[in-house]
Structure 1
Amino acid sequence: MRRTLAAATGAVLAVCAAFLAGAPQAQAAGTTAGFHVQDGRLLDANGKDFVLRGVNHAHTWYPDRTTQALKDIKAQGANSVRVVLATGDQWTRNDTADVADVVSQCKANRLVCILEAHDTTGYGEAGAAAPLSKAVDYWLGVKSALVGQEKYVLVNIGNEPYGNTGYSAWTADTKTAIGRLRAGGIDHTLLVDAPNWGQDWSFTMRDNAAGVFAADPDRNTVFDIHMYGVYDTAAEVGDYVGHFVSAGLPLVIGEFGNMHSDGDPDEDAIMATAQARGIGYLGWSWSGNGGGVEYLDLVQGFDAARTTAWGQRLFNGADGIKATAKEASVFSDGGNNGGDTTAPTAPGTPTASDTTASSIRLSWPAATDDTGVTGYDVVRVSGSTETVVATSTTTGATVTGLSANTTYTFAVYARDAAGNRSSRSATVTAATRPGSTTGPCSVSYRLSDWGSSFNADVTVRNTSAQAVDGWTLDFSFPAAQRINSVWNARATQSGSLVHVTNESWTKTIPAAGSVSFGFNASSTPGTNGVPASFVLNGTTCTVS
């Protein structure tokens, strides 16, 4: 749904007027008990500007994955994580001890922790959703895990607290929720999500934000917009963000993706606008999505080594997390010097080993850092261009998705906990093997194009008299398609080149037999054709 330009202009003037006339200013800069808002900016406890750059993690559904997930999220360069919790109204309640443990793990990984109550999602439209009042009850019930953590924790009162029904109650209910939390002793920075499943197409949050901010006696509320299909153009992204910046009101993009069932969000515009305007963003989500939105996983199967196309974009792309995230100063030297700004030493020169027709194993001497090295980025070097092809928390990584009988140049960077990146290591040049012959083979590739994305069903046939035990299949997309999810195989992608390897249950291709796998990928209209060639274990196959 869209408004006319005249209506939008009137709305923003009303927001600005309300803010200037009635919204008291935040406290002065300086050391406080925790995060706080000043002049529309989020500051940490040391009065340092802090811009959220992180991801969402579905802790309440995958509690056994959280310990490793937080380590891996930090290793990808994030400075924050938005953690899904449950109040017990829709999903199993995360109790006080569990909340305290999550906070402790966030702190150990030097991640600012945004805790959100998910049971409010779509209230008024989703039958099982809980009202904001239930979320307030929950936060007051786990209060002992929160008090004293104001320097490290932000409280997101309720996720997407209204659907597309009854959302006019958002303003009054949000004011009431803030008032109850403050009266109950919750002094943290509060995040309030927009209605309309978080996307605020009705502009309810935008047009009432000044009044909600003024209703917080601590003037310490940040507004949280979720950007999916409603925000499919740069103009829409820029207009929405611009309203808040112009009004001097704090905004964060608490969720967004590179595609969605309701449309194709413009993730490039979202990230570029956030960077240009100095506002935070948190991508949805680390892993574990289901119900048809598996394409929103940043890594496959909670495996940091299996970054999806969406993950590559968010972490390694322009205006991405690795390029823009800065650690909160409260994690470094007490914040007295504004945080750690010293980069690690460069890693030692890498060496290559275990080469195959499609992969090379690299190892390197460790870098050093005064606060500790948290990870390494392996880059492929081609002239003046560098492309991140692997990340690792150890001093080794296997680069996959390479072409047979091809020479490559690699180098390594180190990262520390504050997000500082070292200078580049010396380069190493190595070549893949020519590849082994598996005998004749053929590949069929069947498309189901849905416009915003497409599915491909791929069948690999072994037309020889000898079984193939373990396989890799390489092909290149004809345009800028990106793989979102894969089934019955594993896949990595570098540019247009796709490298597929078997799962344990698809490892063997019997003589005169076949295996099949499939994937979902982003769509480039008019160019989603069959790849020109397929290479199985170094041998080019017939396309059938």
Structure 2
Amino acid sequence: MNKIHLRADTAPSRRAMRKWLLAAVSALAVALAGIWTLLPANAQAEGGFHIEGTQLIDANGNPFIMRGSSHADVWYEGEFASYGELSDLGANTVRVVLGSGQRWGPSSASRVADIIEECKANQIVCVLEVHDTTGYGEEGAAASLAQAVDYWQSIQSVLEGQEAYVLINIGNEPWGNQNASGWIDATKSAIQEMRSSGFEHTLVVDAPNWGQDWEHIMRDNAPEVAAADSQGNTLFSVHMYEVYTNAQTVVDYFDAFEAMGLPLIVGEYGFQHGGQSVAWETVQNEAQARGIGWLAWSYSGNGSGVEFLDQVTNFDPNQLTSWGEQVFHSQNGIVNTAERATVFGDDPDDPTTPDDPTTPDDPTTDPPEGECTAAITVANDWGSGWQGNVSVTAGESLSGWTLNWTWPGGQTVQSHWNTELSQSGGSVTAGDVGWNGSIASGQTREVFGFIGTGTAATPEVTCSAA
């Protein structure tokens, strides 16, 4: 895993053009600095990422949903081009593997500063993580969360001021399966020490049980851990591998955090692990329906029998593996669902222009007449239950919506997310929850999901502006 593969970039790419554009924008910003100081305070983006309920919010006040991958920087420092390659493949986030010195690295402050600047140049959000903590309590060489905090303090100078672009994942899978309840106090202490040291970033905490939380220690104690953060800015991360082999296990875990009103991401997942298949499609489908971020493992360079989790071969973005195709090009994969954080402004690579034939203004793609339309699709059907996803298409711009439908044959909604929903007999009424109420004219947006009982069905749905 520590072997470094060196590969020179060949042809100029969109990435080079992006960097040139960003440099031009930066120069313009300097020239306009005097005007900037005259703007009202609320016109200037300030602060960084923060948590509102179950949502991660960027520095401009907009929801941000992670869609990305991991890159093992500490093992492959020669693969610095990977950040731009991931951006070119459509990722809006990269989870960066760093070393704190107990097992790998340490990753130097200057190296981390370079990574942050590269991510910003390529318009991807950095989630920085210490990997040395993996399996603490069971893996004898693993670092403790306290040692991870020491590392973050040692490079704090290059992290300050980057709160709008960087999240800190305190420690990767920071407890094994032995005495895993120790994770609770260790995580609370780590959060409190980070805050007392002056860190104002969104903090990400991985679950115990090698990240998979099969004992539900993180799930059952998440409110207590969240309360330990004086800034209320902690994001929970579960890793989904062989513990999550069936759809219902994924649904149940997501349901638990939805019910608590706490934010969750899938910090790692694969399509198989430990000789078992993982319900990766359910991870993607459920995450899309609920507005949950995910970071698939991993870009390239896997070893020790899990080479099948490489998304590209030999760090070559032109050689996507079958897993890479699923991560980037599946129905709810990165290409189809990722949106840049709004702190980066417009994406220079966005092919949609005012005269692009796919824009809503084109007469061939006129929005539907009236306020809105809606539809139910069946995302999963496992016999004893099924998952429905609901999308809304706006005829006129919406700031909120209300949907109504009637089940054809005794179906009921067992659970739901991202909606206010009521049912009486076979009649169902559902409405937005605020953040998912705004839909531009002509835009179609998947707005919520539910688990149904009975035979899967897609009845006609009526939509009206709220």
* TM-score of the pair, normalised by structure 2: 0.65
Per the TM alignment, residue 263 of structure 1 is displaced from its structure 2 partner at its CA by 2.2
Partner of 1:283: 296
**Within-5 A mapping of 1:284-303:** 284-303=297-316
Alpha-carbon distance in structure 2 between the residues aligned to 1:323 and 1:138: 37
Max Rg structure: 1
Asked whether the equivalents of residues 32 and 45 of structure 1 are also in contact (C-alpha less than 8 Å), the reply is yes
Alpha-carbon distance in structure 2 between the residues aligned to 1:115 and 1:99: 9
Partner of 1:501: none
Deviations along 1:225-281, one digit per CA (max 9) or x if unpaired, are: 000000011100000011101211000001000111252111111110110111000
320, 325, 329: which is aligned to 1:312?
325
Report the 3-state secondary structure (helix = DSSP H, G, I; strand = E; otherwise coil) of the residue aligned with 1:65: coil
Partner of 1:161: 174
Alpha-carbon spacing, 1:101–1:340, altered in 2? closer, same or farther (3 Å)? closer
Alpha-carbon distance in structure 1 between the residues aligned to 2:354 and 2:71: 31
Taking only aligned residues, the RMSD between alpha carbons, in angstroms, comes to 2.0
Alpha-carbon distance in structure 2 between the residues aligned to 1:191 and 1:57: 17
Alpha-carbon distance in structure 1 between the residues aligned to 2:279 and 2:260: 24
Report the 3-state secondary structure (helix = DSSP H, G, I; strand = E; otherwise coil) of the residue aligned with 1:59: coil
56, 61, 65: which is aligned to 1:47?
61
Is residue 184 of structure 2 the alignment partner of residue 171 of structure 1?
yes
Asked whether the equivalents of residues 329 and 340 of structure 1 are also in contact (C-alpha less than 8 Å), the reply is no
Per the TM alignment, residue 187 of structure 1 is displaced from its structure 2 partner at its CA by 0.6
Alpha-carbon distance in structure 1 between the residues aligned to 2:323 and 2:349: 29
Alpha-carbon spacing, 1:251–1:262, altered in 2? closer, same or farther (3 Å)? farther
Alpha-carbon distance in structure 2 between the residues aligned to 1:87 and 1:121: 12
Alpha-carbon spacing, 1:297–1:187, altered in 2? closer, same or farther (3 Å)? same
1:78 partner letter? A
**Within-5 A mapping of 1:382-393:** none
Alpha-carbon distance in structure 1 between the residues aligned to 2:269 and 2:313: 18
Alpha-carbon distance in structure 1 between the residues aligned to 2:50 and 2:335: 25
Is residue 348 of structure 2 the alignment partner of residue 331 of structure 1?
no
Partner of 1:65: 79
Q: Percent of aligned pairs with the same residue?
A: 50
1:139 partner letter? W
Partner of 2:153: 140
Alpha-carbon distance in structure 1 between the residues aligned to 2:147 and 2:275: 28
Once superposed, which parts of structure 1, at least 4 consecutive aligned residues long, lie more than 3 Å away? 339-348
The number of residues matched between the two structures is 314
Alpha-carbon distance in structure 2 between the residues aligned to 1:346 and 1:298: 34
Partner of 2:382: none
Alpha-carbon spacing, 1:330–1:257, altered in 2? closer, same or farther (3 Å)? same
Per the TM alignment, residue 39 of structure 1 is displaced from its structure 2 partner at its CA by 1.6
Alpha-carbon distance in structure 2 between the residues aligned to 1:150 and 1:197: 27
Is residue 203 of structure 2 the alignment partner of residue 187 of structure 1?
no
**Within-5 A mapping of 1:156-305:** 156-261=169-274, 263-305=276-318
Partner of 1:446: none
1:228 partner letter? Y
Deviations along 1:349-402, one digit per CA (max 9) or x if unpaired, are: xxxxxxxxxxxxxxxxxxxxxxxxxxxxxxxxxxxxxxxxxxxxxxxxxxxxxx
Partner of 1:453: none
Asked whether the equivalents of residues 228 and 262 of structure 1 are also in contact (C-alpha less than 8 Å), the reply is no
Alpha-carbon spacing, 1:38–1:303, altered in 2? closer, same or farther (3 Å)? same
Per the TM alignment, residue 32 of structure 1 is displaced from its structure 2 partner at its CA by 4.1
Is residue 124 of structure 2 the alignment partner of residue 111 of structure 1?
yes
Q: Which has the higher contact order (CA 8 A, sep 6+)?
A: 2
1:160 partner letter? E
18, 33, 38: which is aligned to 2:52?
38
Asked whether the equivalents of residues 131 and 161 of structure 1 are also in contact (C-alpha less than 8 Å), the reply is yes
Asked whether the equivalents of residues 98 and 105 of structure 2 are also in contact (C-alpha less than 8 Å), the reply is no
Deviations along 1:19-78, one digit per CA (max 9) or x if unpaired, are: xxxxxxxxxxx9541000012210000110000000000000001102x11111001111
Alpha-carbon spacing, 1:341–1:65, altered in 2? closer, same or farther (3 Å)? closer
Per the TM alignment, residue 343 of structure 1 is displaced from its structure 2 partner at its CA by 3.9
Partner of 1:85: 98
Alpha-carbon distance in structure 1 between the residues aligned to 2:320 and 2:77: 21
Alpha-carbon distance in structure 1 between the residues aligned to 2:89 and 2:349: 18
Asked whether the equivalents of residues 86 and 117 of structure 1 are also in contact (C-alpha less than 8 Å), the reply is yes
Alpha-carbon distance in structure 2 between the residues aligned to 1:182 and 1:191: 13
Asked whether the equivalents of residues 160 and 196 of structure 1 are also in contact (C-alpha less than 8 Å), the reply is yes
105, 108, 124: which is aligned to 1:95?
108
Asked whether the equivalents of residues 198 and 225 of structure 1 are also in contact (C-alpha less than 8 Å), the reply is yes
Is residue 67 of structure 2 the alignment partner of residue 56 of structure 1?
no
Asked whether the equivalents of residues 99 and 106 of structure 2 are also in contact (C-alpha less than 8 Å), the reply is yes
Alpha-carbon distance in structure 1 between the residues aligned to 2:304 and 2:89: 26
Report the 3-state secondary structure (helix = DSSP H, G, I; strand = E; otherwise coil) of the residue aligned with 1:216: coil
Alpha-carbon spacing, 1:262–1:194, altered in 2? closer, same or farther (3 Å)? farther
Report the 3-state secondary structure (helix = DSSP H, G, I; strand = E; otherwise coil) of the residue aligned with 1:173: helix
